[in-house]
Structure 1
Amino acid sequence: MRVLITNISPLRDEALYEELLRYVPAERQEKIARYGKPEDRRRSLGAGLLLEYGLRSLGCSLLSLMPGTETVHLVRGAHGKPELSGETGVHFNLSHAGDYAAAVFDEGAVGIDVERARRVNVNVMRRQFTAEENAYLQSGPDAFLWLWTRKESYCKAVGEGLHLPLSSFDVLENQVAGRTAPAAEAAEAETAVRKADAGEFYLYTEAPVKDYVLSVCAGHPITGCLVEKVDLRKLFDGIS
């Protein structure tokens, strides 16, 4: 597993922004252009740059005719999760928040979530957590962000997204514990829970930079996972 994080603040420099834009494929360039706010465009570009950088280290590229790489394309899974075409054996996931973008690469299903510290009305969010998790929320101001990033990374790893009720699984331990969905849950939601529980998933969380929390989730125990900080201004040094 490889986990990358980068500060996207340098992309406020318009010249650097335009220079780095050529390292992401046309599809992402079009996606970036559709964002109305400059900060959203920078986050999307930053995530795209990490994706291309990470893929090249694994012998792949989303850009055509890159020497020494296999050209791959993004496709969508059953619930819209981006995946790579072909039989590369490479799985990835992206996240961004505030001034940071993050990416994770692994040999199997994987998810990542990075969040910036912010004020949250915990009482409003209680329905998203199990009883045990709600008790943990009282342990300190960082408890919510710790739990939330773990929930999000798990949903992204299993590929269910918003189809999976957040209160149907517990993330207090490093191995995700599935729970029985309440009788009142819709049939579709219950199906999603059963599908997600079909495999074992594990979590890892750290605070890679001040005021940010990052969690990753994968289908194997995660040990000694240190987030790698990279300077986006130097990602493609020496590469045309």
Structure 2
Amino acid sequence: MLRIYYSSIEPYKVKDLIEVFGSKLSNHTLYKTHNYKTEDDKKRCILGELLLHYSVKRILGYKNHELEIYQEKYGKPYVKDNIVYFNISHSGEYVMCAISSKELGIDIEKHIEITENIFRFFHEKERDYLNKVGKINRFFFDLWTQKESYIKYLGTGLNTPLDSFYIANGKNGASVYDNYGRRDKVYLQSLSIDKSYSCTVCSEVKEVTCLTKIYKKDLNHLNQ
């Protein structure tokens, strides 16, 4: 099972989100929301947790107060007893929550202008690939989200350098290679929700079960 739920921050206001769903949010999320400077950052933070509650309630029937969230050594969040695995990512107007029966990571990035200088952080094989395709944002951000989703799958954050592994894209999809060779049973799947964004989910599950956009009316079920 690998389900992905996403939402746009555009229809929401922070004041309304807290007024309607404040009792559903963890103290950690409320604290982070308070410390963010921009309205959009606050909305991304709140919607990330609301999408998690929505997905867990839909799959397991849990209510928000029954869901206990902790953090691993490098900050990756997890649900107590690993009843499900989840990961959250946001960029621009979108927030995404992936939930699965196995470990996973997800990353979404809005396409922006880049310079070739950023290529230096990548593995040599990836630099060669990027130099061939040039400054085409789609190729760069597809690769970036593949790498980020894999690092989030590992849960090691910046402790795994971007040049310590590489992604090989071929006819049969994308594969991860590190110093020990190809990583078996790790699957990278590209997701298409908006032509101005790249998104990848990395998981031990071969196929995404569903990719669903969540609207206001859907989130209202959290209060039922």
- For this structure pair, what is the TM-score category when the shorter chain's length is used for normalisation? 0.7 to 0.9
1:199 Cα deviation from its structure 2 partner: 6.3
Aligned to 2:104: 110
* CA distances 1:49-108 after superposition (whole Å, capped 9, x unpaired): 1111011112264732xxxxxx131111121110111252x0000001111100101111
Q: 1:113·1:149 contact (CA, 8 Å) conserved in 2?
A: yes
Aligned to 2:213: 229
* Structure 2 Cα separation of the partners of residues 63 and 216 of structure 1: 25
Aligned to 1:207: 192
Q: Name the structure with the higher strand share.
A: 2
Aligned to 2:94: 100
Q: 2:74·2:155 contact (CA, 8 Å) conserved in 1?
A: yes
* Higher deviation after alignment, 99-108 or 228-237: 228-237
Alignment of 1:161-172 (within 5 A): 161-172=157-168
Aligned to 1:82: 77
* CA distances 1:124-156 after superposition (whole Å, capped 9, x unpaired): 222222233223323233111000011110000
Q: Structure 1 84/61 Cα, relative in aligned 2: closer, same or farther at 3 Å?
A: same
* Structure 2 Cα separation of the partners of residues 113 and 238 of structure 1: 25
Quick check: 1:125 aligned with 2:118? Answer: yes
RMSD between aligned residues: 2.4
Question: How high is the TM-score relative to the length of structure 2?
Answer: 0.86
Which amino acid in the other structure matches residue 214 of structure 1?
A: C
* Structure 2 Cα separation of the partners of residues 13 and 35 of structure 1: 11
Aligned to 2:129: 136
Which amino acid in the other structure matches residue 9 of structure 1?
A: E
Alignment of 1:14-93 (within 5 A): 14-59=15-60, 61=62, 63-64=64-65, 71-88=66-83, 90-93=84-87
Structure 2, unaligned stretches of length 5 or more? none
* CA distances 1:10-47 after superposition (whole Å, capped 9, x unpaired): 12373355213333223312221121221110110111
Q: How many residues in Structure 1 have an aligned counterpart in Structure 2?
A: 217
* Structure 2 Cα separation of the partners of residues 201 and 118 of structure 1: 28
Aligned to 1:68: none
Which amino acid in the other structure matches residue 76 of structure 1?
A: Q
Q: 2:14·2:42 contact (CA, 8 Å) conserved in 1?
A: no
- The percent of aligned pairs where both chains have the same amino acid is 26
* Structure 2 Cα separation of the partners of residues 226 and 145 of structure 1: 23
Alignment of 1:179-218 (within 5 A): 179-180=178-179, 200-218=185-203
Quick check: 1:150 aligned with 2:151? Answer: no
Question: How high is the TM-score relative to the length of structure 1?
Answer: 0.80
